[in-house]
Amino acid sequence: MNAVIKHDIPGRLRIHLNRSRLDFREADTLQYYLQGFKCIEKAVVYERTADVVIKYSGSRDEIIRIIRDYSADKIDVPEYFFESSARELNAKYYEDVVSSIVKHYGKKLFLPAHVRTVLTCFKSLRYIWRGLKTIPEKKLKVEILDAVAISASTLVKDHSTASSVMFLLDIGDTLEEWTRKKCATDLARQMSLNITRVWKVENGEEIQTDAGLIETDDLVVVRMGNIIPFDGVVEKGDALVNQASMTGEAIPVRKAEGAAVFAGTVVEEGEITIRVTAVSGSGRYDKIVRMIEESEKLKSGLESKAEGLADRLVPYTFAGAVLTYLFSRNVMKAVSVLMVDYSCALKLAMPISVLSAIREAGERGITVKGGRFLEAVSEADVIVFDKTGTLTKAEPVVKSVISFNGEDENELLREAACLEEHFPHSIANAVVKAAADAGLTHDELHTEVEYIVAHGISSEINGKRALIGSYHFIFEDEGVVISDDKLQQFEALPDEYSHLYYAKDGKLAAVILIEDPVREEADKVIRALRENGIAHIVMMTGDSERTAKRIAAKVGVDNYYAEVLPEDKSRFVKEKIDAGYKVIMVGDGINDSPALSAANAGIAISDGAEIARQIADITIGSDDLYSLVMLKKLSDRLMERIRFNYRTIVGFNTGLIVLGLFGILPPSASALLHNTSTIVLGLGSTTKLISKEDYSDIRKIS
């Protein structure tokens, strides 16, 4: 690529491409290319100036090489990346703001007074009509205040004030819409699907392949607990599909042959083969944006109360203006009061505070689906942890495979991996990884696979019924037996490991020993959560009493419950909520889904089952649990910001109304101060709640 270095300091380069500017697609292509390198911490592409700013770690020469090697023709950018780019959106609103400013001051400089008067009167009709349209709602709204103020200024021939008021309203509306849209699109980008591998049916066999290679009319298999990766039609099978991501309705819908299914929805029960009707760039992103913009989930309780109060205060503002005119007979004083309302600021600052907090969480690897869940985290006094993959590491490892039927351990591991790869969970992933590390390939040996929640997997391998799962599932539910000569070996299994049981034809074939080490930070995070207001911390697991007791003592929870089923976790959460507590549930598996759904805020680990992530209200990264502490701090600070915004808006605007009543502020000054304060408060609400220093401190908890 042809470019020159404009600025060069250690760790940062500013490069100018030998172009006058870039179009949006070219800029996004370069952005996509640069963010694919680990040595590049951050890259910003400026399409207007054809400049690129790169923050990097490591070798400067490596960055120069990356720039030289760039060729747009060789970069295959997924369509969703262009779909989710905010570049065109920002350019549009930037141009709208600049255009409004140029037109307003251009008219003052170059047009004669009588022409400006005609234009002002003509433009005022739009605001008057906007106010009149709200009358059928039988509510006094802020649009009525604007219409009356502009009409009054025009009637008394103060066209300069009317023009200034409309200009400020234009700018305010544009900035408000821009800020809302940007926050929503940033959030949508974080929530967009990120599915890389799918099961494709080819020549009657299932083959795991790259999602990017799927084309229209391909057949894709989706099993219980997995996200449907593409829009399509059910070709085979029957399933209950959770469509909350698209419709907001969490009740699963039955999908049988011929039914349409949508990308981003989740198979809760059953298995379906879909014929793909739309691949990448099919509008999933737009659906998510609409869901964000329309969903009431974005509103916290405090936010809803503040907005309700804003609507209730409009009639009082109007009454104040009428009384001002009746007592003073001064139209300008009355207009000064009308220029100030609480609604604009409250309805801008509150949602922007929430959206910005959600976006900030996203930048730290936390996806939050609505403001009320941040409020729930702030108010929470009980937190319930699943054990496996949550308090323990997200990547348990297979320590050994013990054969109980005389077959080779590697062959038994290969068969187990063949079953487990269809239902991702931390332990299943460990089995699949162990087989891969041992170089054991496992083509599809089995027939149809059935997953029994919180128990295990049932199928048939080489004509024999195969089962893999928990002790309860294998021995109590399925009645699997152990050969008499193997009983002593079974009793001697080491206690320090979790046990995964594999049986064939009703007999125990192998026990897979899983080491599930506790996360190093677990005890520190639990202590920090307690210090930040969580009064009661509980661990629940389907594992044995022995294992649960050991982990609970290590991490320092208040209580633990062992050998629990999904309904037990859900029942516990509901009982606590009924008792008046605010409850957070943290889990990563399909078996955690009922409890995640029941909690005031359900938090899923990102590497866990897809259905858990879909049902959960919040998803955190799998790297560590410090995100939970940051989430609690961010939620607390968001609630503080909302309260501060509320007090500031009411206090400042009340002051403006009083100054208008006494004639100290003319209407144009009232409008300017009101709109300026609204925009400043709105922009202030987009600032970070957690500083870099705070973030570093959180990760240094001792």
Q: Look up the CATH number of the domain holding residue 409.
A: 3.40.1110.10
Q: CB–CB of 604/402 below 8 Å? A: no
414 and 338 housed in the same domain: no
- Note the pLDDT of residue 400: 93
Lowest mean pLDDT among 206-210, 269-273, 334-338, 691-695: 334-338
296 DSSP assignment: G
339 and 381 housed in the same domain: no
Range of the domain at 30: 3-77
- End position of a domain, from candidates 260, 285, 310: 285
Q: CB–CB of 696/640 below 8 Å? A: no
547 and 608 housed in the same domain: yes
Which of the pair, 421 or 561, is modelled with greater confidence?
561
Q: List C-alpha distances in Å: 17 to 27, 91, 661, 685.
A: 11, 20, 57, 35
pLDDT band, residue 608 (cuts 50/70/90): low
Strands 231-242 and 197-202: unpaired
CA distance 510 to 502: 5
Residues contacting 31, CB < 8 A, separation 6+:
43, 45, 85
With respect to residue 290, please indicate whether it lies within any of the assigned structural domains.
Answer: no
475 and 567 housed in the same domain: no
- Note the pLDDT of residue 285: 46
Residues contacting 601, CB < 8 A, separation 6+:
373, 376, 377, 380, 583, 584, 585, 617, 618
pLDDT band, residue 370 (cuts 50/70/90): confident
Alpha helices (H) along 133-252 = 142-155, 159-191, 244-247
390 DSSP assignment: I
204 and 249 housed in the same domain: yes
With respect to residue 629, please indicate whether it lies within any of the assigned structural domains.
Answer: no
Q: Of the candidates 200, 255, 222, 252, which has an alpha carbon nearest to the alpha carbon of residue 451?
A: 222
* Each residue's pLDDT tens digit, 142-158: 677 677 777 877 877 87
- Note the pLDDT of residue 525: 93
Name the token pair of 18: 């030998």
Residues contacting 142, CB < 8 A, separation 6+:
314, 341, 343, 344
414 and 561 housed in the same domain: no
CATH of the domain at 19: 3.30.70
Lowest mean pLDDT among 116-130, 338-352, 359-373: 338-352
Q: DSSP 3-state assignment of 557? A: coil
> Could you tell me what percent of the chain has a pLDDT over 70?
83
With respect to residue 318, please indicate whether it lies within any of the assigned structural domains.
Answer: yes
506 and 527 housed in the same domain: no
CA distance 264 to 287: 10
In this model, does residue 43 exceed pLDDT 50? yes
24 and 38 housed in the same domain: yes
CATH of the domain at 246: 2.70.150.10
306 and 182 housed in the same domain: yes
CA distance 702 to 693: 16
Name the token pair of 244: 């909350």
Q: Of the candidates 250, 94, 275, which has an alpha carbon nearest to the alpha carbon of residue 178?
A: 94
pLDDT band, residue 296 (cuts 50/70/90): very low
- Note the pLDDT of residue 489: 92
Strands 205-210 and 197-202: antiparallel
Q: List C-alpha distances in Å: 387 to 283, 516, 554, 639, 701.
A: 37, 10, 12, 30, 21
Number of domains composing the chain: 5
pLDDT band, residue 576 (cuts 50/70/90): very high
**106-111 mean pLDDT:** 86
In this model, does residue 141 exceed pLDDT 80? no
Name the token pair of 354: 């929430």
Helix axes 87-110, 159-191, angle to 10 degrees: 170
- Note the pLDDT of residue 612: 65
Q: Of the candidates 351, 355, 513, which has an alpha carbon nearest to the alpha carbon of residue 427?
A: 513
- Note the pLDDT of residue 281: 45
- End position of a domain, from candidates 474, 492, 515: 515
131 DSSP assignment: H
User: Side-chain half-sphere of 6: how many Cα atoms within 13 Å?
Assistant: 12
With respect to residue 348, please indicate whether it lies within any of the assigned structural domains.
Answer: yes
474 and 507 housed in the same domain: yes
With respect to residue 86, please indicate whether it lies within any of the assigned structural domains.
Answer: no
Q: Report the DSSP beta bridge partners of residue 464.
A: 461
**466-472 mean pLDDT:** 88
> Could you tell me what percent of the chain has a pLDDT over 90?
20
**61-84 mean pLDDT:** 81
With respect to residue 83, please indicate whether it lies within any of the assigned structural domains.
Answer: no
Using alpha carbons only, what angle is made at residue 667 by residues 661 and 673, rounded to the nearest 5 degrees?
Answer: 95
Write the single-letter amino acid at 30.
Answer: L
Q: Of the candidates 129, 29, 133, 144, which has an alpha carbon nearest to the alpha carbon of residue 87?
A: 29
Residues contacting 406, CB < 8 A, separation 6+:
none
Q: Report the DSSP beta bridge partners of residue 373.
A: none
Write the single-letter amino acid at 411.
Answer: E
Tell the residue number behind the tokens 């780019």, with chain if given.
Answer: 85
pLDDT band, residue 327 (cuts 50/70/90): confident
Lowest mean pLDDT among 21-30, 287-296, 367-376, 517-526: 287-296
Q: List C-alpha distances in Å: 293 to 129, 297, 327.
A: 26, 10, 44
With respect to residue 691, please indicate whether it lies within any of the assigned structural domains.
Answer: no
- End position of a domain, from candidates 252, 285, 318: 285
154 and 205 housed in the same domain: no
Name the token pair of 360: 């900030």
Across 237-246, 249-258, 574-583, which has the greatest mean pLDDT? 574-583
Q: What is the mean pLDDT of the chain?
A: 81
Lowest mean pLDDT among 167-176, 278-287, 383-392, 419-428: 278-287
Q: What is the CA radius of gyration of the chain?
A: 30
Alpha helices (H) along 192-342 = 244-247, 284-294, 301-328, 331-338
With respect to residue 85, please indicate whether it lies within any of the assigned structural domains.
Answer: no
pLDDT band, residue 295 (cuts 50/70/90): very low
pTM to 2 decimal places: 0.64
| Displacement of CA 543 from its chain's centroid (Å) | 30
Name the token pair of 688: 């970070």
402 and 499 housed in the same domain: yes
Residues in the chain: 702
